[in-house]
Structure 1
C-alpha cells in the first residue's frame, strides 16, 4: 500500500483518483477503499473540489492529464496486479475502455463477429495476393499472342515462352526475400504499419502492369507484387493468431487459405470476361480496398503490451471481444505470458531481444522450426504446385479448392490439427498413387479409355484434400508454435524457406520427369506424403484451442496436457465464483 501511494505523484494525480473513485468507494475492494481514504486525507479540500468539478467534463484518457501522469497512475495500479481491485480502479478511471457494466453480475462471453471481421479485413490483402497469383494464368496467353479484337495485346510485340516464364516467376522470386523485412517492421513499429507497407507495392505493381508496354515494365510490376506478397505472408496469419481467441484461432486462421483461393478464382472469372487493362486495374483496386478497411482495425494487444501501452492494449482487446466482456483476466494472462518469455527462468532478469543464434539454441523454438520444415516439405513434396499447373485450366478445380478451404475452417477447431492433417495427407497420397497408376498403365500401352475420368477426378480430389489439410494449416501452425519474442524470427526464415522450396521443386520437376517419368514422379510424391504422416503422428503437438505459452512449454520438455486444455473463459470463471 505504501509503495502504491508513493507511485502516484502528489497533486492533481491523487486529486483525480479521488474524484474518479470517491463517489464509488463503497464498490471498491477494501484495499482500494483504504487508498482512496488516505489520499483524500492528504489533499486539500480545494484540490478535491477542483478535480471533481473538472474531471467529468473530460474524456477518461484526458482526465489524468499528460501521458507521463497517466503512465504514473498505471505504474501505481501495477502493484495490485494480483488483486481484482486493480481492475476495479482501472474500470472507474477508464470506463469507456471497459464498456457497460454487466448488470446480471456475470461476465458476457466474447463476441465472435469482431474477430471474424478482423480476420476478413486483414485477409483482403491475401485476396489481392491470390488475384496476382492467378493473373499469369489468364493474361500470359494474351501477352504471348497478338490478342483478339475483344482483347488486344497491350505490348509492342508478343512475349516468347521464355519471357513469359520470367513474368510469371518474378513475383515468387521477389516474395522469397521480403518476409524478414516485413517481420522486422511488424515487430518494431507494429502490425498496422506493416499492413500499409504491404499494400503499397501491390498497387504500384498494378499501375506498371496497366501502363507497361514492354517486358521490363511487366517484370518490374510483378516484382513489386512479389514484395507485397512477402509482406502479406508474414503479416496476415500472424495478425489473426494474435487477435483471435484460442478456441477460434484455428478456424479464423484458415480464412487465409479461403481468401487466397478466392483471389485466384476471381482472377479466372475476371480474366474470362474483361479486357487486359480491366484485369490489371483490379490489381490496384483490391489493395486500395484493403487499406480503406485496415484503418478501422486496432493494433494487436500483444504488440501494444510489448511497448508498455497497457491502456491501448485494453482498448484493442475490448474492440476485438465486444462490449460486456471482462477483458481484464485475458489481458493479465497476456501480460504474464509476455513477461515470462522476456525473462530468464534462472535469474529472473529481463532478457535482451533474441538473436538468430538464440532462436536455434532455444529448445522449444528449435523443435518447433523442425516441425515447420517438415510441414513445408510435406506441402511441396506432395506436388501441390506441380499438380496445380496441370489443373490451372480446369475451372471446376478452383471451386473445389475454395470449398475445401471453407470446410477446413469448420473442422480445424473440432477435429484438431493432427487428425485433419493425417486424414487429408492419406487422401492426397491415394490421389497421387491413382494418377501414377494411370500414367504407368498408359505407358505400358494398356487401354485406359474405360477410366478416362480418373485423371480429372484424381486431380480434383487432390486439390480438395490438399486445401482441406496441409495447404490450409501450414501457416496456422507456423503462427501457433513459437513464443511471442521468437515469432518474428520464425516468420522471417520460415516463409522464405517455404517460397524457395516451391521454386526448387518446380525447377526440379523437369529433371524428375527425365529420371522417373511422370508415373514415378507421382509415386514419389505419394511416398513423401505418407512419410510426412509418420512425423505428424508421432511428433506434431496438437495445438487446437491451446494457449501458445502451453504449447511452448510442451516443446521445452514439459508434460503433455490432456486433450481438453484449459482456456480463459470469463463466463465459466464467473459461474465458478
Structure 2
C-alpha cells in the first residue's frame, strides 16, 4: 500500500469519550481539594466531628501541605507503574487511593485520619497527572491533542466547584457518601475501554493493537484512503516501539545537552513561578482567607464564585493562548496574579489598621476571583504544555 500522509481522521468521538472517562478520577480529586476549604472552619470549631478535638493552626497547615508531598510521590511512583502496567492498568489502580481517601473522611475520628486521606488524595492526583499525559498522547489525533489535554484541568476545576458547593450546603458526613461514587463510576467507565495501541504493540499483540487503533481513530472502513491511513499509523507506532526497545535506557547524553537543559530550565522555572502565585493555598484555604479578609460577603458563597472563575479561566485558556501566544500569556498571567494579590493585601492591611472600608468590602472577592481566573487561563495549564513542547519525547515519555 502507498502511504497516505494527507488523510485526516474525522471521527474522534471515541477519543473524547476515552479522555473524559479517564478524567472522571480528577472530578473526585477536585472534590477532595475543594471539600477541605469549607471543612476547615468546621474542623477548627468546637463542633468538630473529630473525637480528637478541634484542629490547631499547625495541624491545619499540615492538612493543606501533605497533599503536595503525596503529589510528588504519586508522580514518581506512577511513572514507574506505567512502564510495566501500561497506562490503562496504572490509571485504574488510582481508584484505590481515591476511594480510600473518602472512606477515611467518613470513618475517620482523628487528625491522623484526615491527614492520611489528604496524602492519598495527593498520591492519586500525582498519579493521574503523570499517566493522563501519556494516555492522551498515545490515542489522540494531532489536531485535537491540545484540546483533549485541556480536559484534565477543566474536570479538576469542576470537581473543586462541586467540593466547595457540597461543603457549603451539606453536613460533614454526607459529602463522602456522595463523592465516593465518582471514582467508582470512573473505574466502570474506563475499564470498558481498550488499552492504547502502543501498549499492545510493546507486548507483540498486533491484532489487539489494530483493533484499539480502529476504536480510537473512529475507523469505518469506508474508503481505501482510510485503510491506507490506518496501516500507515500502525506501522509508525510499531516503528516507535521497536526503536524504544533497541534503546530503552535513558543515557546521560540524552539529558545533558543544550536543548534538553534549556527545556528543563524553562520547565522548572515555570513550575516554581506557578507555585509562587499561591494558587494552591488560595484553593485549599479559600473560605478561611475570605473570612479573615474583612469582606462582608458570605465566605462560603464567595468561595463558590472563586471556583466558577477557575472553570471559566481553564475554559478560555486555549483561546487566549492562540491570541497572545504561550510566552506572552504566561507573563500576563503572572503579572495579573501579582496585581490582584496586591489589591487584596492592601485592603486587608487597611482593614486591620482600622479604616472604614464598608464601601469596598467587595474588593477581596473581586481581586481573588481575578487572581484565580488569570492563573487558570494562563500559567497553571501552560506550564506542563511548555515542558512537553520543549523536551524531546524520549525524556518526558518514559
Q: Give the TM-score, by structure 2 length.
A: 0.82
Q: Does 1:187 align with 2:83?
A: yes
CA distance in 2, matches of 1:413, 1:331: 31
Q: Give CA deviations for 1:260-290 in whole Å, capped at 9, x if unaligned.
A: 1111111111122222222122442211111
CA contact (8 A) 1:199 1:287 kept: yes
Q: Give CA deviations for 1:397-450 in whole Å, capped at 9, x if unaligned.
A: 111111111122455567653454344344334434545665677799988666
CA RMSD of aligned residues (A): 3.2
Change (3 A) 1:389 1:283: closer
CA distance in 1, matches of 2:209, 2:392: 19
Change (3 A) 1:214 1:436: closer
Give the counterpart of 1:471 among 380, 395, 398. Answer: 380
CA contact (8 A) 1:129 1:232 kept: no
Give the counterpart of 2:175 among 260, 275, 279. Answer: 279
Q: Give CA deviations for 1:132-177 in whole Å, capped at 9, x if unaligned.
A: 1122212232233343xxxx72535333333333334332222222
Q: Does 1:327 align with 2:233?
A: no
CA contact (8 A) 2:52 2:111 kept: no
CA distance in 1, matches of 2:162, 2:41: 17
Counterparts in 2 of 1:49-448, with a 5 A limit?
83-84=1-2, 109-147=9-47, 153-155=49-51, 157-324=53-220, 325=226, 326-337=229-240, 342=244, 350-354=246-250, 357-388=252-283, 391-392=286-287, 393=299, 394=302, 395-412=304-321, 416-432=325-341, 434-435=343-344
CA distance in 2, matches of 1:164, 1:446: 30
Change (3 A) 1:155 1:475: farther
Change (3 A) 1:303 1:291: same
CA distance in 2, matches of 1:481, 1:312: 33
SS in 1 for 2:51: coil
CA distance in 2, matches of 1:186, 1:363: 28
Shift of 1:243: 2.0
- Please say which of residues 382-391 and 433-442 is displaced more in the overlay: 433-442
Shift of 1:195: 0.7
CA distance in 1, matches of 2:352, 2:171: 41
CA contact (8 A) 1:203 1:283 kept: no
SS in 2 for 1:176: helix
Counterparts in 2 of 1:13-52, with a 5 A limit?
none
Shift of 1:468: 0.4
How many residues are treated as equivalent by the alignment?
376
Change (3 A) 1:476 1:215: same
Change (3 A) 1:186 1:480: farther
CA distance in 2, matches of 1:487, 1:460: 33
Q: Which protein is bigger by CA-based radius of gyration?
A: 1
Shift of 1:467: 0.3
Change (3 A) 1:429 1:304: farther
Q: Give the TM-score, by structure 1 length.
A: 0.58
Q: Which runs of 5+ in 2 are unaligned?
A: 221-225, 288-298
SS in 1 for 2:80: helix
CA contact (8 A) 2:267 2:384 kept: no
Q: Which runs of 5+ in 1 are unaligned?
A: 1-82, 88-105, 344-349, 490-577
Partner residue of 2:296?
none
Q: Give CA deviations for 1:217-250 in whole Å, capped at 9, x if unaligned.
A: 3323333223222212211233223322222122
Partner residue of 2:293?
none
CA distance in 2, matches of 1:120, 1:257: 11
CA distance in 1, matches of 2:110, 2:165: 26
Change (3 A) 1:485 1:380: same
